[in-house]
Amino acid sequence: MATIIRMPEVAANATHATLVSWSKKEGDEISSGESIADVETEKAIIELNVEAQGTVARLLVNNGTEVAVGVPIAVLIDAGESVADADRILQSTPEKNASATLVSDPEPRGSQASQRVFSSPVARLLAKQHGLDLNLIVGSGPNGRIVKYDVLRAIQNDGESNISSVPARIKGSDTLEHSAQAAFSDTPHTNMRRTIARRLSESKSTVPHFYLTVECRMDNLIALRTEINTTAQVKISVNDFIVLAAARALRDVPKMNVSWTEAAIREYHQVDISIAVSTQAGLITPILRNVNSKSLSQISFEIRALADRSKQGQLRPDEFQGGSFSISNLGMYGVDEFAAIINPPQAAILAVGAVKAQPVVNSSGVIEAGQIMRCTLSVDHRAVDGALAATWLAAFRRYIESPSMMLI
């Protein structure tokens, strides 16, 4: 019997999702658990796996279409059934008018255009946004797979072809014979960019932020990192130490590991730290779970793996939804100090600046050269008061300045 495939709730409380591209064509066979399409959620592009098998009879939405949860997007038929059977079951479906327009008929199977182009989800999304044909791009990935770098290179080679000049008349000067020319290019918003804009606007306008800044002496940590990395198979970064120090401080000051709800302050029994990662599509915060149970090398390995998969748009929803505390590190960009916006419903985010050499006064009152890192803690004042936040920040600094303590 023909089976209707509907847009699932690919993320918690999602009402819509964008179908980025189909992995199958009409007429293709598909097995249970196999991907039929790539779908863009609020934060990532994921594969949409079906729980049925058969032949793809109808693809009901075009690439790039935003579809409401529950709306039919495809129809599968069993052996012995025809496309007419698929059409009949669609006609008997009450929501048939809610679906988008049909995808245009596929090219003949023997044609070059009908051959599937192997590419990463991020590469397909970038190519779509910039109007590039993946068939014309040479892939540098495994087995010729097109990756993000290949599309970015094609965009660069495309030069100024995506830039349009649009006349703009000066306000109040309609009688002018000549209008000014303004060159610009528009990049349509992705679901991810819309979500970032909505969530951060809500956070900044509804969450009462306050900020605490501290300077951390980094000399001991840098020396320990150098010693570890002389023999470690996985090279440890300064950021790995920062994540572990934050986790240890949250263990010591559990009242900071909370979020605000209308009914209560929710205290989490596990330290799950969201790590801000910049991707081509926007900012995403993959979550390192149960950090206090992990070694420094485990933390280092998992952060790198999550960051790589974030940039490829391959995170599962459970890998970026939730978390009890966030860290945003812009030190690698040379930023001395900044204040980050809280990631609701979390109650705090730590903004980390660069490690800089500067004169410091030691405990003996002597001026000497020191390595200093400035960190700013943004806090939700509804859930956490100033003294508590200051206590946590002091604990964090102790671990940073005496890093061997956090390894015990």
pLDDT of residue 390: 98
pLDDT in tens, 56-107: 999 998 888 888 888 899 999 988 888 888 888 888 776 544 444 333 333 3
Domain termination residue (choose one: 78, 98, 116) = 116
Q: Decide if 62 is inside a domain.
A: yes
Nearest Cα residue to 355 out of 229, 256, 215, 249:
215
The question of whether 269 is a catalytic residue gets the answer: no
Domain termination residue (choose one: 94, 116, 138) = 116
18 Cβ contact list (under 8 Å, min separation 6):
39, 40, 64, 65, 66, 67, 190, 191
pLDDT of residue 100: 40
Total-model pTM: 0.65
CA 213, CA 67: separation in Å to the nearest integer?
Answer: 44
Q: Decide if 288 is inside a domain.
A: yes
**Residues 228 and 109 placed together within one structural domain of the fold:** no
pLDDT in tens, 258-299: 999 999 999 999 999 999 998 877 888 999 999 999 999 999
pLDDT in tens, 382-405: 999 999 999 999 999 999 999 999
Q: Is 383 exposed, middle or buried (0-12, 13-18, 19+ CB in 10 A)?
A: buried
The DSSP letter of residue 105 is P
382 Cβ contact list (under 8 Å, min separation 6):
207, 208, 260, 347
Q: Decide if 282 is inside a domain.
A: yes
pLDDT in tens, 349-388: 999 999 999 999 888 889 999 999 999 999 999 999 999 9
Owning domain of residue 80: 3-116
Q: Decide if 394 is inside a domain.
A: yes
Nearest Cα residue to 147 out of 124, 129, 128, 131:
124
CB atoms within 10 A of CB 322: 17
pLDDT of residue 268: 96
Greater confidence, 141 or 203? 203
Residue type for 388, please? L
Element (H, E) at 186: none
Q: Decide if 171 is inside a domain.
A: no
Q: Decide if 266 is inside a domain.
A: yes
**What's the mean pLDDT when you consider all of the chain?**
84
The dihedral formed by the CA atoms of 303, 204, 213 and 279, expressed in degrees to the nearest 10: 30
Domain termination residue (choose one: 66, 92, 116) = 116
Please give the average per-residue pLDDT across 172-201, as a whole number: 70
The total of structural domains in the chain comes to 2
Give the confidence band of 39 by pLDDT, cuts at 50, 70, 90: confident
CB atoms within 10 A of CB 11: 22
Q: Decide if 9 is inside a domain.
A: yes
The angle that helices 219-229 and 386-401 make with each other, rounded to 10 degrees, is 50
Find out whether 327 and 352 touch, Cβ atoms under 8 Å.
Answer: yes
Catalytic residue among 16, 130, 209, 381: 381
**Residues 331 and 227 placed together within one structural domain of the fold:** yes
Say which CATH number the domain at 394 has.
Answer: 3.30.559.10
The angle that helices 238-252 and 386-401 make with each other, rounded to 10 degrees, is 130
Say which CATH number the domain at 83 has.
Answer: 2.40.50.100
CA 210, CA 349: separation in Å to the nearest integer?
Answer: 11
φ, ψ of residue 114 to 5 degrees: the values are -85, -10
Q: What is the token pair recorded at 368?
A: 């000497």
Residue 121 predicted with pLDDT over 70? no
Phi-psi map region of 223: left, alpha, beta (phi>0 left; psi -120 to 50 alpha): alpha
Cis before 344? omega within 30: no
CB atoms within 10 A of CB 194: 12
Give the confidence band of 42 by pLDDT, cuts at 50, 70, 90: low
